[in-house]
Structure 1
Amino acid sequence: DNYVESNINTGVGFFDHMLTLLAFHGKFTLNVEAKGDLYVDDHHLVEDTGILLGQAFKEALLDKKGINRYGSARVVMDEALAVVDLDLSNRGYLVYNVTLNRNDINGFSLEMVKEFMYAFAINSGTTLHINLMYGDNDHHKVEAIFKALGQALKKAVCIVDDRLPSTKGKI
C-alpha cells in the first residue's frame, strides 16, 4: 500500500528493469542487491533471485488471512499481450506458454524468464499461469509478462475481509 521506489542491482541491466517493473506494477518495494558468477552466465544469479524473492514473498504472507488469494492481469505492451493468472495456494506450480525468438537482450538470457518464474512460483507457493497471447518484439513480450505478474500479485494480496481464503481452514 505504501510503495517506495525500489533499489535493484543485479548486474544485469535488463533483469533489473524487469524487476523494477514487477515491483512498480505490484506496488511492492524491492531492495535487491545480487552478485553472481556472471563471468559464466546469468543463470545462477537470475534463478537464485527468483528463489529468494519467492521465499521472501511467502514469508511476508505467512498468515494469508484476509487476502484475496487470486489475481489476474492482462497487460498490453505495444503489440504484445500477456495474461497472468495466479493463486497464492501454497502449491507452487508454473504453466508457461511463451514463445521468445531472441537468445538474449543485452546480456539477459531470455530462457531465464521461465527459470525465474519457476523459481519464484515454487518458492513462494504460487500456482502461476503465464500466457503470452501474441507479440513480435521480445522486449515488449517480456515486459508485458513482468508487468502482468506485478498487477496479478497486487490483486492477490489485497485485503478483502478478515477470513482465511479457503474452505479447508488453511492454505
Structure 2
Amino acid sequence: MRTGAVSRKTKETEIEVAVDLDGRGTAHISTGIGFFDHMLEQLARHSLIDMTIKAKGDLHIDDHHTVEDTGIALGQAVRQALGDRAGITRYADVLLPMDETLTRVAVDVSGRPYLVFRTHFLRDKIGTFDTELVREFFQAFTTHLGANIHVETLYGENAHHISESSFKGLARALRVALTLDPRQLGEIPSTKGVL
C-alpha cells in the first residue's frame, strides 16, 4: 500500500493529510478556503490520488499560512507514500488546456526539490483568494515532496482557468510520474541507484 499520513500543528495552522497514491481520486477536502478546496479536489480527481485534507488556520489574518502549510503537509504525505521511490515512472509532462488557457507542467520525482513557476495572473484575486498563493502552494508542495516541477502557462487570460489548468496539469503529470512501471518494479529509476 502506497499511503501516507501527516499531521502538522503550528501556532498558525492545524493540518491533517492522508493520501493513497493508488486510489481513484476520491477527495475529502476542508481548508476553510472555498477556491483552494476546489483546486485540491481537482488535484485529487485528476491524479487519481485519494486525498483527505482537513485544515484549520488563522484565516482571520489571511489565507497564506493555511495554503502554504497544506502544501507542506501534502508534499510530505506523498513523499512518505512513495518510500524509496522504487519502480516509479519518475518523469512526466502534460499540456493542459482549459478554454482560452494552455498550461504546460513537467515533473521529475527525483528527490531534488526545484520549482520553476512561469505563470502570471492578470488579476490579484479569484473571488477572495489571492492568486499569489497558487505559487506558494506549488513551492511548498514541490519542496516537501522532493520533486522538480515546472509550471508554465503558455497563454491565458482568466485567472480561474490559469489556476485550474496549473493544478490539473500537476495532477495529470503526477498521475503518470508516480505510476509503477511494470518493467522496473523494485528498481530505483536512476543510474545512481538512489533518489
| TM-score normalised by structure 1 residue count | 0.97
Map 1:4-43 to 2 at 5 A: 5-43=26-64
Whichever residue aligns with residue 81 of structure 1, its letter is L
Q: Percent identity?
A: 46
CA distance in 2 between partners of 1:49 and 1:26 (Å)? 17
Match of 1:30, SS state, is strand
- 1:108 shift after superposition: 1.4
Partner of 1:116: 137
Whole-angstrom distance in 1 between the partners of 2:51 and 2:180: 20
Relative to total residues, which structure has the larger strand share, 1 or 2?
Answer: 2
Partner of 1:102: 123
Deviation at 1:4, TM superposition (A): 5.1
Post-superposition offset of 1:106? 2.2
Retained in 2: the 8 A contact 1:13–1:106? no
Size of the alignment, in residue pairs?
171
Task: State the match for 2:66 in structure 1.
Answer: 45
- Give the corresponding residue for 2:193: 169
Deviation of the 1:5 alpha carbon? 2.1
CA contact (8 A) 2:26 2:48 kept: no
User: What is the identity, as a one-letter code, of the residue corresponding to 1:134?
Assistant: Y
Cα distance between partner residues in 1 of 2:69 and 2:141: 9
Amino acid at match of 1:21: Q
Deviations 1:42-62 (A, max 9, x none): 000000000000000111101
What letter corresponds to residue 131 of structure 2 in structure 1? L
Q: Counterpart of 1:55?
A: 76
Hey, what's the Cα distance between the residues in 1 that align with 2:44 and 2:25? 10
Shift of 1:63: 1.7
What do the CA deviations read for 1:22-57 (whole angstroms, capped 9, x no partner)?
A: 110000111011010111000000000000000001
The AA in structure 2 aligned to 1:164 is: I
Runs of 4+ in 1 over 3 A off after TM superposition: none
Relative to structure 1, is the Cα distance of residues 72 and 4 closer, same or farther in structure 2, using a 3 angstrom cutoff? closer
Gaps of 5+ in 1: none
**Superposed CA offset, 1:104-129 (max 9, x none):** 11221100000100000000001010
Contact 1:12 1:107 in 2 (8 A): no
Q: Which structure is higher in RCO with an 8 Å CA cutoff and minimum separation 6?
A: 1
CA distance in 1, matches of 2:25, 2:111: 27
Contact 2:94/2:172, CA 8 A, preserved across alignment: yes
Give unpaired runs (5+ residues) of structure 2: 1-21
CA distance, structure 2, for counterparts of residue 3 and residue 169 of structure 1: 30
Q: Distance in 1 between matches of 2:23 and 2:51?
A: 12
